[in-house]
């Protein structure tokens, strides 16, 4: 009986162990079935709260590095995809040809300035000559109008003497005519007085004619001087006779030279300013972006740079953003400033936050699908998130 009881106890214990194992297996199976259901419910809730999209990392600011003057690429100090900081050397240039052009332009300016100086000296001589002629003309006019011209004054004196002599001869003739009528003198004697009076009259008349001739001659001389002045003034920009010694206008040729100088100085300044660019430090091309990536290098060492072709481009990593296309059926749920979770495909364990910063005003079609371009700013970018990366996006509907 005792042996039988022990046997029954063992059987009962074995049955309990089997039942416990079956129960545990059943419970485990139930929990495994419940887990996918819970996960599915969670995913459903997430889809209700977010719009899923696919995007690409890009940058808002890209700068093309262009050298707009003749130069040779002596050394290329960076490679495609290299990160650079502000002031970091990108390339070293050979500036021999450009410096030669600068030197030639400076010599051209010096030559034209010398030409201007020579022309101004000639002009000054013309001004002085005009001033001298003007003074001489004014003096001759004054002498002529005032009657104080020495030659005319002498002639006037001669005329006075001639007229007095004629009057005396005329008086004597009248007296002799009376004597002739009385028979006191002969006709031959009277003829002598007639001829003398006529001679005195002619002498006075000749003097008058001489005076008029001299006056006309002097007026003609003054007119010729004035014509000479007018001719010289016609070669100048000024007819300001009164202030000619202070400020005479310049000849047309002087104006042309001054314009040439202005043009050359402007060209020279523009050439020098090219060397003062923020992209240049001496003969080195430097980055002017605080945090950038070099790409699209278009030259190799030894090439001659062309203004029509950039040296390279630099992405500004401080302006990083996400470019995405949201299918048209979901765009109505996307709002500006909506929160966005960003998951890079390069490392799905990483997550970035951002927000919708722009929604395009038009849809685009690609591969038969219609979508709307959207831009998303990144709140917490780091060195891992690179331009060109693909990312999954979860755009909040709230």
Length of the chain measured in residues = 398
Q: Is the pLDDT of residue 3 over 70?
A: no
* C-alpha 189 chain-centroid distance: 104
Of residues 383 and 20, the one with the higher pLDDT is: 383
DSSP string across 339-358: EEEEEETT-TT--EEEEEEE
- CA-wise closest residue to 244 among 260, 256, 230: 230
Kindly report the CA angle at 22 between 19 and 24, in degrees rounded to 5?
Answer: 105
Indicate the SS3 state at residue 338: coil
Highest mean pLDDT among 31-40, 146-155, 248-257, 265-274: 265-274
Place 2 in a pLDDT band, splitting at 50, 70 and 90.
Answer: very low
Residue 157 phi, psi (nearest 5): -65, -45
pLDDT of residue 271: 94
> What distances in angstroms separate CA 170 from CA 164, 196, 202, one per listed residue?
10, 9, 12
* Cβ proximity of 93 and 65 under 8 Å: no
Mean pLDDT of the 100-110 span? 96
Number of CB atoms found within 10 A of residue 333's CB: 14
Distance CA(234)–CA(353), nearest Å, equals 80
Range 339-357 burial, b when 16+ CB lie within 10 A, else e:
bbebbbeeeeeeebebbbb
Indicate the SS3 state at residue 121: helix
* pLDDT-wise least confident of 139-143, 181-185, 249-253, 312-316: 249-253
pLDDT of residue 225: 84
Tens-digit pLDDT profile for residues 16-26: 554 555 555 44
pTM: predicted TM-score of the whole model, two decimal places: 0.58
Tens-digit pLDDT profile for residues 277-286: 999 999 999 9
Average pLDDT, the chain: 85
Mean pLDDT of the 357-386 span? 94
Identify the structural domains of the chain with CATH numbers, from first to last: 2-63+315-396 (2.40.30.170), 100-258 (1.10.287)
Mean pLDDT of the 122-150 span? 82
Q: Is the pLDDT of residue 31 over 50?
A: no
DSSP string across 301-333: TTPEE-TTS-SEEEEEGGGEEEEEEEETTTGGG
DSSP character at residue 249? P
Of residues 119 and 205, the one with the higher pLDDT is: 205
């Amino acid at each position: 009986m005792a042996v039988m009881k022990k046997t029954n106890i063992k059987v009962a214990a074995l049955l309990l162990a089997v039942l416990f194992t079956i129960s545990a297996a059943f419970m485990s199976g139930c929990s495994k079935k419940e887990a996918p259901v819970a996960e599915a419910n969670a995913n459903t809730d997430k889809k209700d709260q977010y719009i899923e999209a696919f995007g690409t990392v890009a940058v808002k600011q890209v700068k093309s590095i262009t050298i707009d003057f003749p130069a040779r690429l002596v050394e290329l100090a960076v490679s495609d995809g290299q990160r650079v900081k502000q002031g970091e050397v990108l390339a070293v240039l050979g500036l021999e040809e450009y410096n030669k052009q600068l030197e030639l332009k400076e010599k051209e300016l010096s030559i034209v300035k010398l030409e201007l100086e020579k022309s101004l000296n000639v002009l000054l001589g013309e001004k002085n000559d005009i001033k001298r002629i003007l003074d001489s003309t004014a003096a001759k006019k004054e002498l002529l109008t005032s009657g104080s011209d020495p030659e005319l004054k002498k002639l006037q004196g001669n005329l006075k003497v001639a007229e007095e002599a004629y009057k005396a001869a005329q008086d004597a003739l009248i007296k002799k005519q009376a004597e002739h009528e009385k028979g006191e003198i002969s006709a031959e004697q009277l003829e002598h007085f007639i001829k003398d009076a006529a001679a005195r009259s002619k002498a006075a008349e000749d003097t008058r004619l001489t005076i008029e001739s001299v006056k006309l001659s002097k007026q003609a001389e003054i007119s010729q001087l004035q014509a000479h002045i007018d001719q010289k003034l016609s070669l100048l920009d000024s007819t300001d006779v009164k202030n000619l010694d202070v400020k005479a206008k310049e000849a047309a040729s002087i104006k042309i030279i001054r314009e040439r100088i202005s043009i050359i100085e402007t060209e020279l300044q523009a050439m020098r300013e090219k060397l003062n660019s923020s992209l240049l430090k001496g003969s080195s091309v430097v980055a002017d972006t605080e945090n950038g990536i070099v790409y699209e290098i278009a030259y190799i060492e030894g090439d001659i740079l062309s203004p029509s072709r950039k040296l390279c481009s630099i992405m500004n990593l401080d302006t990083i953003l996400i470019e995405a296309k949201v299918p048209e059926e979901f765009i109505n749920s996307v709002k500006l400033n909506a929160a966005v979770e960003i998951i890079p495909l390069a490392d799905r364990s990483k997550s970035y936050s951002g927000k919708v910063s722009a929604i395009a005003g038009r849809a685009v079609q690609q591969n038969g699908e219609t979508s709307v371009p959207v831009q998303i700013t990144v709140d917490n970018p780091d060195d891992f998130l690179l331009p060109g990366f693909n990312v999954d996006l979860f755009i909040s509907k709230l």
